Amino acid sequence: MLLRPLRSWASRALRRDRPGSPAFSPGPGAQRLVWPRDKGRENEKEKKSVICVEGNIASGKTTCLEFFSNTTDIEVLTEPVPKWRNVRGHNPLGLMYRDACRWGLTLQTYVQLTMLDQHARPQTLPVRLMERSIHSARYVFVENLYRRYRSLHNR
């Protein structure tokens, strides 16, 4: 199953770059590879990773993230679907499923705002696992809505 390799990968990712770990001190004469975004960081404790899990609707993204939710070094942020179902007593998610051409962009605008809130939240743990990135709403869902709308009106 996919979760076993993910768990072993996560444990390796959490162990890397820690004093005393084999990855931290590769041996005499070996150079440590540094990503460009890590250049200039003086404190190793500042290193943090953000991993966004992408996938189709109902493909198991939340289940995968829930698997890691009890891990102490991983912060898990799932999609805030309850927020999308109740906005001052209205259900924009339900409206979008009823009439995507009318409500799709409205929902995706709100999704973008809620995802921005999650991305902007200060990261407290070394690894943050997120369900979808902020770019998904724009480059996947809004693009799809646009193409669908355009194809309906060009008939």
**Domain that residue 87 falls in:** 49-154
Per-residue pLDDT tens over the stretch 46-92: 788 999 999 888 899 999 999 998 888 999 999 999 999 999 999 99
Residue 102 within any structural domain of the chain: yes
Residue 10 within any structural domain of the chain: no
- How far is Cα 25 from Cα 38, in angstroms, rounded to an integer? 17
Residue 85 within any structural domain of the chain: yes
How far CA 133 is from CA of 18, 28, 38, 116, 130, in Å, comes to: 27, 39, 21, 9, 7
Residue 1 within any structural domain of the chain: no
- Do 131 and 79 form a contact (C-beta atoms < 8 A)? yes
Phi, psi angles (nearest 5°) of residue 127:
-125, 130
Instruction: Please confirm, yes or no, whether 131 is among the known catalytic residues.
Output: yes
Mean of all residue pLDDT scores within the chain: 78
- How far is Cα 79 from Cα 63, in angstroms, rounded to an integer? 12
Residue 61 within any structural domain of the chain: yes
Task: Give the model's confidence band at 5: pLDDT under 50 very low, under 70 low, under 90 confident, else very high.
Answer: low
Please tell me which residue in 42, 75, 131, 143 is annotated as part of the active site: 131
CATH number at residue 78: 3.40.50.300
Residue 135 within any structural domain of the chain: yes
* pTM exceeds 0.85 for this model: no
Q: Indicate the number of domains in the chain.
A: 1
Per-residue pLDDT tens over the stretch 109-135: 899 999 999 989 999 899 999 999 888
Residue 59 within any structural domain of the chain: yes
More confident residue, 140 or 4: 140
Phi, psi angles (nearest 5°) of residue 43:
-105, 120
Residue 11 within any structural domain of the chain: no
Per-residue pLDDT tens over the stretch 19-46: 555 544 455 555 555 455 555 555 655 7
